[in-house]
Amino acid sequence: MEIKINNTKIILKIGDITEEDTQAIVNAANSTLMGGGGVDGAIHRKGGSAILEECKKIRKEKYTDGLPTGEAVITTGGNLKANYVIHTVGPICSGSFKEREEKLLYNAYYNSLRLAKEKGIKSISFPSISTGAYRCPVDKAAKTAFKAVIDFIKNENYIEEIRFVLFTQDVYERYKEAFNEI
Ligand code: AR6
């Protein structure tokens, strides 16, 4: 599914984000930036050690206590097709999604896009941040993701293509529903 807002194409698709050929892909990381399971594990496995090396440097130089939830940093894409990985940390919901979680998730999307623009990136792929291990409800998370993306497009007319790369049919369908409700 695909729509255009201003000059930005938004694409929803089913797939493995590590295969995407956008200039950047976004990692749903944790604040240690040292890797993990889910999409984080897949990105580090396929991207290789150059990504972790840069993450270690970021931890040492800028975020000695870890990357705060809702913030984003950028590294090489290593062996991936994407040139860059933007690492962000979504909220831990454990099933509950209130104002706090919504704001933090919004920030994770918005700050990733802001960083992409700063680096001259015009195409970017997102996974469904916080809806796996961090257990945010998919329907609410999807609405928040779209809200952040649409606000960004309205505020900053820069990025040409934003893909949501959803791992399963079920998550894809729920993103589609949320999108139609906007
Ligand atoms: N491509 C696209 N989406 C994927 C892929 C993939 N290769 N693999 C999984 N997903 P999660 P979170 C989907 O748990 O909830 C990690 O351990 C998955 O099906 O990866 O933000 C980190 O280190 C789900 O829909 O991220 C953190 O500790 C979505 O990606 C923690 O998990 C997000 O699931 C972050 O949890």
pLDDT digits (tens, 9 = 90+) for 102-131: 999 999 999 999 999 999 999 999 999 999
Print the domain residue range for 144.
2-179
Atom 11 of ligand 1, nearest CA residue: 132
Q: What is the DSSP letter of 182?
A: -
Write out pLDDT tens, residues 136-165.
Answer: 999 999 999 999 999 999 999 899 999 999
Q: How many domains does the chain have?
A: 1
Residue holding tokens 């893909």?
163
What does the pLDDT read at residue 9?
Answer: 97
* Rounded Cα–Cα distance for residues 64 and 77 (Å): 22
The domain spanning residue 12 has which CATH number? 3.40.220.10
Write out pLDDT tens, residues 64-107.
Answer: 999 999 999 999 999 999 999 999 999 999 999 999 999 999 99
- Pocket of ligand 1 from Cβ distances under 6 Å: 16-18, 28-30, 36-40, 42, 90, 127-134, 165, 167, 171
What does the pLDDT read at residue 60?
Answer: 98
110: left (phi over 0), alpha (psi -120 to 50) or beta: alpha
Q: How do strand 8-14 and strand 2-5 relate by DSSP bridges?
A: antiparallel
